[in-house]
Structure 1
Amino acid sequence: MQIARRQGFFYGWIIVATALAIIALGMGLMFSLGVFMEPLENALGWSRGQIAQANLYGWVAFGVSAFSFGLLSDRVGTRVVVRIGAAMLGLGLLGLSQMQHLWHFYLLYGLLIGGAVGAFNVPLISLVTRWFVTRRGLAVSLANAGIGVGGLLFAPLSRSLIMSFDWRVAFFVYGLLTWVVVIPLTLLLRERPQDIGLRPDGETEAPEPETPAHASAPYTFSKVLTLPAFWVIAVVHFFCCAAHSGPIFHMVSAVIDAGVDKLAAATVFAASSFASLPGRLGTGLLADRFGSKQILVVWLMMQATAVLLYLTVGNFTGFATLGLYFGIAYGGVMPLYAVVAREYFGSHALGASYGAIFGLSCLGMGLGGWLGGILFDNLGTYNSLYVLSFLFGAAGAGLAFGLRAPGSQPGASLAPQAAGD
């Protein structure tokens, strides 16, 4: 097929917008569980540790499915796996609206919902990287901003639905919303720009190679698994998510415990999610300019500092102000892992490679929230959670500082991306 130059508006931005919208819905619903904690405590008598255990199961399922669906998307395409995820997510949410027992919660949230959302992030982010070269960091950041948009929208919406109706109605509405929104949006997805006669944005006359600059041939997934850099990135991502997941998941409950109105507490969560948006976009631009590893280290240090500062706040103003800084910190770090993976391992097996990295990070997401619930149930405070989260974050920053690309010399790091990557 004759590959045409793009004229006018580039269709890749439609891909980015579609990915953003789908990720916003999936991750917004996943993160909104923290808003449902207090109603579930009151209505069903479950402890915070028990509710957080469902969160752990959900993130483990998310991690397994992120890898599985990432691998599957390399073979059958992104549109297929996103539709599978949408069907699972809608079914899981409708099931939550009818649940009566704790095992129902663990099965529906831990298996169906966690597994479903795993079909969105990795395949869609991997898809976006195939459409862009010079502005890849920005494009990935925009798509990843769906996580912040989802939190911004669904935290106050969930609280409003719960207050106006009840938590069962909220889950039922969300189940229907998933099917109505996500499945039609998949019609906009295209696997590669070449499929519609385009080149990736910023690509020169020669197609961008699948092989990273430091390798002599494209990396297969089995080869990626033998590279120390893969395991360093995966462990850094694990520590990063373990650091911020507890404070995020328990944010609304912690604010309510401080005597703040319930709707205002949900607003603090929404404000933090909103603040994550400039963080995500800013790091994408900075990564394109200065290199993804350098920005990753800086933002991991910011995140660790933000978590530790939670020990110093105890009122609405303190939580709201720190929430803004925390949002910039945890939001900004998340898009960088896909960019680092693309730079270090190439595009040949990116779905599987990034899926495996993201899968391990999901264990950190579940572990942080679960430990926060257990510590609160036993100690009646979140202070131990904040200290533990800081240690996770500091460990991630330290490991990221020593990260080297495969085949590079000690102390070397990747330069900012050029037009040919």
Structure 2
Amino acid sequence: MTPDERRYAPDSAYAWLRLALSLVIGTVACVGSWSVVVVLPAVQAEFGTLRAGASLPYTCAMLGFGFGNIALGRIADRYGIVAPIFGGGILLGSGYILAGLSETLWQFALVHGLLIGIGGGAGFSPLIADLSHWFRRHRGLAVVFGASGSYLAGVIWPQVISWGLQSHGWRATHIGIGIVALVVMLPLALFFRKRPAAETLVEAELSSAGARSDLGLTPNQLQALLVVAGFCCCVAMAMPQVHIVAYCGDLGYGVARGAEMLSLMLFLGIVSRIGSGFVADRIGGTATLALGSLMQGVALFLYLWFDGLSSLYIVSGIFGLFQGGIVPMYAVIIRDYLPPREAGVRIGIVMSATILGMAFGGYVSGLIFDLFASYRMAFLNGLLWNLFNLSIVCWLMVKARPKLRAAPGAAS
């Protein structure tokens, strides 16, 4: 192996630097998943709408985010990751500036769907797929670190936006976010010009083909199962993540307390994601996914019974610790069992299903609140969707047992 090949080999120092910068980009790009959550009460008051109407921009952002994950993932498969990062920065920057200038709820919602959502996709599936090519021994850990950008965004941005709301208003805050996206993402895109070696992709193709044979499912069958499972788990996940700020406001604790709970939830979600990476490298992505789904259901059940301020902090922390590692496990499973040259678009499809689940879950939770004037039924709805996800994942775990004994996390 030549010095240049060693420098750019999987698990090299360059790969870890690439991972670190991917985390920075993901943290900036995924701001759109959380900004609407924090400004939801202010937007509702500004445009004089019901809670379901105020949730519409979030739904549009998630729909755009889902499309962006697939489209930009496909571009990354064919041309590399630079174009998605650069294009995502342009879309996010212009989107947030236009959002700050919106005069109607529909303008605000469309900007989130067509610009902010699509641009944010650059910081999730394409980055995760790209990182999966640069690691072998620590692929599970690398994938969860890459996916943690969306959660780190949830830790940092709600506090920044909450401060911006109080100090400058939501419009100026959105314009400021757009400027940050342009300044950070455009220059960093140039670092990612190096692409994985052809030999690395060939070895990975042989490994995934053998794994599919052990699993006993065709690529499209496995893809379909993961799409359904991902949608269900994220309908359940959306209730606390999307509505915790508004929930705390309704209970009289204030929006700021809700933003703190959201940040706590997502900070501990990062801990959960990193921990799930270590676990997945040892027992496999499927078993790790089943464990996370089970514990997310437990947390949702606790929300049904506790609504005191201290209790909500505790349950939100538990929820973060339980569910943070769920979504990245779909990417780990895809890289273990599906063709690596299609990783960007295949991960994008499944991640988009999880995003659609978040969009649907966020909207239907607001609709349920409007119907019952209470979030209790919305939490119960999330729990039922989670049970459906768990049944699918457990069946898949049984099918994947031979692969678990072969330690899939160690595969190329």
* TM-score w.r.t. length of structure 2: 0.92
1:212 aligns with 2:207: yes
1:416 aligns with 2:395: no
Structure 2 equivalent of residue 55 of structure 1: 58
Q: Return the match for 1:288 from 266, 278, 281.
A: 281
Distance 1:147 1:410 in 2: 28
Give runs of aligned pairs for residues 8-407 of structure 1, distance below 5 A: 10-194=13-197, 208-215=203-210, 227-403=220-396
More displaced stretch, 254-263 vs 144-153: 254-263
Counterpart residue type for residue 417 of structure 1: P
The aligned length equals 405
Distance 2:306 2:204 in 1: 50
Distance 1:245 1:169 in 2: 27
Distance 1:365 1:290 in 2: 27
Cα offset, 1:9, TM superposition: 6.6
Q: Structure 1 residues 303 and 420, CA, compared in 2 at 3 Å: closer, same or farther? A: closer
Distance 2:401 2:135 in 1: 28
Counterpart residue type for residue 263 of structure 2: A
Question: Does the CA contact (< 8 Å) of 2:31 and 2:120 recur in 1?
Answer: no
CA displacement 1:289-330 (0-9 Å, x = unmatched): 111111110100111111121111222211111111111122
Cα offset, 1:139, TM superposition: 0.8
Query: What's the % identity of the aligned pairs?
Result: 27
Look up the SS of the partner of 2:374 in the other structure. Answer: coil
Look up the SS of the partner of 1:131 in the other structure. Answer: coil
Distance 1:228 1:35 in 2: 38
Cα offset, 1:43, TM superposition: 2.1
Look up the SS of the partner of 2:407 in the other structure. Answer: coil
Structure 2 equivalent of residue 203 of structure 1: none
Cα offset, 1:125, TM superposition: 0.5
**Residue segments in structure 2 that go unaligned for 5+ positions in a row:** none
Q: Structure 1 residues 383 and 138, CA, compared in 2 at 3 Å: closer, same or farther? A: same
Question: Does the CA contact (< 8 Å) of 2:211 and 2:403 recur in 1?
Answer: no
More displaced stretch, 265-274 vs 181-190: 181-190
Cα offset, 1:404, TM superposition: 6.3
Q: Structure 1 residues 216 and 325, CA, compared in 2 at 3 Å: closer, same or farther? A: closer
Question: Does the CA contact (< 8 Å) of 1:12 and 1:193 recur in 2?
Answer: no
Cα offset, 1:102, TM superposition: 1.6
Higher helix share: 2
Cα offset, 1:212, TM superposition: 3.3
Question: Does the CA contact (< 8 Å) of 1:229 and 1:404 recur in 2?
Answer: no
CA displacement 1:250-297 (0-9 Å, x = unmatched): 011111222213322211111111111110000000000111111110
* TM-score w.r.t. length of structure 1: 0.90
Question: Does the CA contact (< 8 Å) of 1:66 and 1:122 recur in 2?
Answer: yes
Cα offset, 1:170, TM superposition: 0.6
Distance 1:404 1:214 in 2: 18
Distance 2:218 2:250 in 1: 44
Look up the SS of the partner of 2:13 in the other structure. Answer: coil
Question: Does the CA contact (< 8 Å) of 2:286 and 2:400 recur in 1?
Answer: no
CA displacement 1:25-75 (0-9 Å, x = unmatched): 122332221110111122221221012122222212221221111111111
Cα offset, 1:355, TM superposition: 1.2
Q: Structure 1 residues 41 and 340, CA, compared in 2 at 3 Å: closer, same or farther? A: same
**Residue segments in structure 1 that go unaligned for 5+ positions in a row:** 201-205, 219-223
Distance 2:49 2:40 in 1: 9
CA displacement 1:172-200 (0-9 Å, x = unmatched): 100111101111111221443449xxx97
Counterpart residue type for residue 86 of structure 1: G
Look up the SS of the partner of 1:91 in the other structure. Answer: helix
Distance 2:78 2:229 in 1: 28
Counterpart residue type for residue 144 of structure 1: A
Cα offset, 1:129, TM superposition: 0.3
Distance 1:266 1:366 in 2: 19
Distance 2:336 2:236 in 1: 25
CA RMSD of aligned residues (A): 2.4
Distance 1:281 1:216 in 2: 24
CA displacement 1:107-166 (0-9 Å, x = unmatched): 101221111112221111101001000100111111111122111101111111100110
Counterpart residue type for residue 88 of structure 1: L
